[in-house]
Amino acid sequence: MEIKQIYTGCLAQGSYYIKCCDEAAIVDPLREVQQYIDMAERDGVKIKYIFETHFHADFVSGHLSLAEKTGAQIVFGPTAETGFDSHIAKDGERFKIGKVEIEALHTPGHTMESTTYLVHGKQGEPHAIFSGDTIFLGDVGRPDLAQKATCMTQEDLAGMLFDSIRNKILPLPDNVIIYPGHGAGSACGKNMSKETVGTLGHEKQFNYALRADMSKEEFVKELCEGLPKPLEYFGFNIAMNKHGYKSIDEVIESGTNMLSVDEFIRASKDTDALVLDVRHQRDFIQGFIPGSIFIGLSGTFAPWVGALLVDVKMPLLLVADPGTEKEAITRLARVGFDNVIGILQGGFESWKDSGKGIDTIEAIDAPTLANTVNSDSRTLVVDVRRPGEYSAEHVDGAMHSPLSFLADNLSDLPSEKFYMHCAGGYRSVIANSILKKNGIHHAVEVLGGYNAIKKTDAPRTDCVCPDSV
């Protein structure tokens, strides 16, 4: 038996390829499925099953496309209802791949149909689990995403998750390998490890939610405290995973519509499309199409698209570096944004060459910010990092306005010049583009973000500053 993890950093998501003898199975495939087909062809095996741990909220899975191209059977856990042909497994049902068996363990709590798949070795011993969003390394799945569909509270679902973990997973041997659905950076949990493969024994020791002495009441309280607001696009992705979607081949073909500058402008006016610039942030700072939004491919692109653009049906016009157009469309499609109507031929350089107007972002480096803050205590600094990052340490006196909610809080921002930063410069450029689109032009970008600021003598909270070492 061989198990391969296909980990996608942009989504902090793990899908899996399981091979034994002349058969294979895929767990939670990405929407672009050719990679799994290629793996099976190289190994000379047939993909027999596609196991889905649940209806994913943060990405569009590739189960439908993979089934159409390979004839493999789609398997969901108990209580799942789909708009396509699938096998709804019974709790404890086993599926054979070559000489090994994969058992469906119904583990509701994250969602009602959530299922953990237990791989039994050739001798029948428990070998590994594909835990989806039931258990992560360092955390467990958030219990609030299925509330609307079930008319249950997040506390009810957290209680179900406690029972699922205690009754179905913790009794397994400590040497059982955990292959989780996500790692650090995913919005599906709040305390995930950067590691992507672990063991049950390790999690019993170090995962706060798996403590042996934890009562159900304590579990529910800890799990429900500090949950970030679910992202708006989650509901769209659940519906696509449940009822169906266009093939990614069709999405790429229709989206790769190269437009001249004049055609690009005309398409923007005719459709009221959003202009999305996916270049690197350093290039965007130096010049961009007025009114465009920046979310660069070099960062956690897909989750920020979903968090900030919200409506997956929104028409999009792309500004991309030549040669990255297909990558941009593919990564948009991973989170359900299929409506790319055109791409600027020749990228931003063609816009500049045409003589059309451009906008820029004023920027300074971290030492300059430190000098400014130290010479004038009234200097305004806005920190757009996540709450946990800000509370751990920040520039003394900095205003906190997380990027996820920035668009809803524009009126709270300073009306005079201020300096804006995140951790490294990616999120703050996104924020600056949102401000610019909304007519706010007095924000100054701090290059390198907080990672650069903390190397200076800028006054900071909860830290040891360089001049005091």
Q: How many domains does the chain have?
A: 3
> Residues 99, 161: one domain?
yes
For 212, counting Cβ atoms within 10 Å of its Cβ (0-12 exposed, 13-18 middle, 19+ buried), the class is exposed
User: How many Å apart are CA 271 and CA 6, to the nearest integer?
Assistant: 37
Q: Is there a single domain that holds both residue 202 and residue 284?
A: no
Residue 130 carries which side chain, given as an amino acid letter?
F
Residues 45 and 148 in one domain: yes
Range of the structural domain that residue 207 is part of: 2-235
Residues 307 and 426 in one domain: no
For residue 67, give the nearest of 49, 94, 81 by alpha carbon. Answer: 49
Does one domain contain both 253 and 203?
no
Q: What angle do CA 408, 414, 417 make, to 5 degrees?
A: 130
What local confidence, expressed as pLDDT, does residue 463 receive?
Answer: 55
Predicted pLDDT at 68: 96
DSSP state letters, 105-123: EE-TTSSTT-EEEEEE-TT
3-class DSSP state of 317: strand
Residue 87 lies in a domain: yes
pLDDT digits (tens, 9 = 90+) for 65-113: 999 999 999 999 999 999 999 999 999 999 999 999 999 999 999 999 9
Q: Tokens at residue 368, please?
A: 């300059």
Domain boundary among 187, 216, 235: 235
The answer on 225 and 184 residing in a single domain is yes
Dig out the tokens for 302 from the structure.
């897909």
241 within domain boundaries: no
Q: Are residues 121 and 26 in the same domain?
A: yes
27 and 120 part of one domain: yes
Please classify residue 376 by burial: count the beta carbons closer than 10 Å to its beta carbon, then call 0-12 exposed, 13-18 middle and 19+ buried.
exposed
Spans of the chain below 70 pLDDT: 148-149, 462-469
Whether the CA torsion 454, 459, 465, 469 is positive or negative: it is positive
